Amino acid sequence: MELSQLRMLKTVCDTGSIARAAEVLHCVPSNITARLKSLERELGTPLFFREGRGLRVSPAGEVFLGYATKILGLTEEARRAVNPSHTPSGPLRIGAIESSATGRLPQLLAKYHAQYPQVSLELSTGTWAQLLDDTQHHRLDGVIVAVDVERPGLKRAVMYREDLMLIASESHGPLRNAADLQGKAIFMWPPGCPYRLALEQWLLRHDQVQPIISIASYGAIVGCVSAGAGVSLVPRGIYEQYRQGAGWTGYEFPELTGIDNLFYWHENAGRHPAREAFLTMLKTEFEG
């Protein structure tokens, strides 16, 4: 088993086809096909199902991909440990919850790319639990989430506090207190979202128990609110991103206090100039 085979496997899974993987890896498709078949023979199980001219990852392939990703990440860490460079370069895998990726990171990512063009930056989104798990298992180099929790092997630092805005269509009239939400549809991210939890606790303190409609997309949530279908509680970054011409109004309530967003990384990842430069830029951007 060779590292080049693992890179081929991951690239095929990432791109969805051998042809596209060959373009990324700058080799011929037949080379990838031969190397993957050799890997399958060595493992004694198919990693892909061939369907016409396409491929579908097998259950065994999904399991092996997780290990391959971890091995490749550890290999990169080992390379940096024995050959440290002060110049940010190479791959940087960042994860973020959607509110951060949509509302806070776009301009910063553009600035980072302009300043460090030798870094191959990848951004993934997911739930905070998924992102922390990916960091613990070296699938991501660092993540931004809106929870402050202890996780074995992870270090963390507060980046910024996200204020909360209750948004409603202009047709709904003003929202003065929790009781004004009575009878209105409420759209929030699924359970586990810290912003949803903040809203649920606020409503409970005011004896308001209402069903919440789960939508795992801020774009869809904002669309529902703009159409007059209901209300939502969103981070200020999302509010600022979508408010122009949205047709809704934002409300702030002192009881709905802001929520810290933190950056997590693995304490055993070694020196990582690209990640360190990203963290420095985050701090500079949001402390300023």
The CATH code of the domain that includes 54 is 1.10.10.10
Q: Does some domain include residue 103?
A: no
State whether residue 19 is helix, strand or coil.
Answer: helix
**Neighbour-count burial of 221, counting CB atoms closer than 10 A to its CB (0-12 exposed, 13-18 middle, 19+ buried):** buried
What pLDDT is recorded for position 84? 62
Which alpha helices (H) appear in the chain, and where do they start and end?
Answer: 3-15, 18-25, 29-43, 59-82, 98-103, 106-115, 128-136, 194-205, 218-226, 236-242, 273-287
Domain boundary among 56, 83, 110: 83
Q: At a CB cut-off of 8 Å and minimum separation 6, what does 175 contact?
A: 166, 168, 181, 231, 251
Q: Are 43 and 56 in contact (CB under 8 A)?
A: no
Q: What's the pLDDT score for residue 76?
A: 76
Q: What is the pLDDT of residue 50?
A: 78
Q: Residue 221 domain-assigned?
A: yes
Give the pairing of strands 164-169 and 248-251.
Answer: antiparallel
**What distance in Å separates the CA atoms of residue 258 and residue 200, rounded to the nearest whole number?**
15
Domain end call among 29, 55, 83: 83
pLDDT of residue 288: 53
**Is residue 46, in this structure, part of any structural domain at all?**
yes
Query: Distance between CA atoms of 147 and 165, rounded to whole angstroms?
Result: 18
Asked, for residue 20, whether it belongs to a domain, the answer is yes
Closest CA to 248 of 192, 184, 194, 200: 184
Assigned domain for 62 exists: yes
- The DSSP bridge partners found for residue 169 are 248
DSSP string of 173-222? ----SGGGGTTS-EEEPPTT-HHHHHHHHHHHHTT----EEE-S-HHHHH
Contact 161, 261 (CB under 8 A): yes
Residue type, 271: R
pLDDT of residue 189: 94
Residue 212 sits in a domain of what CATH number?
3.40.190.10
pLDDT (tens, 9 = 90+) of the chain, 288 residues, equals 888 889 888 888 888 888 888 888 888 988 888 988 898 889 898 888 877 667 788 888 889 988 898 888 888 777 766 666 667 888 899 999 999 999 999 999 999 999 999 899 999 999 999 999 999 988 899 999 999 999 999 999 999 999 999 999 888 878 899 999 888 999 999 999 999 999 999 999 999 888 899 999 999 999 999 999 999 999 999 999 888 777 888 999 999 989 999 999 998 877 788 999 999 999 998 875
Cα angle 100, 105, 109 (rounded to 5 degrees) comes to 150
Distance CA 287, CA 266 (A): 23
Is 113 among the domain residues? Answer: no
Could you give the dihedral angle defined by the CA atoms of residues 286, 269, 111 and 245, in that order, rounded to the nearest 10 degrees? -60
Q: How many domains does the chain have?
A: 2
Domain membership of residue 149 (yes or no) is no
Is residue 274 a part of any domain in this protein? no
In angstroms, rounded to a whole number, what is the distance separating the alpha carbons of residues 204 and 181? 12
- Domain interval for residue 177: 164-257
Q: Which of 83, 107, 129 is the last residue of a domain?
A: 83
pLDDT value at position 265? 95
pLDDT in tens, 149-198: 999 999 999 999 999 999 998 888 788 999 998 889 999 999 999 999 99
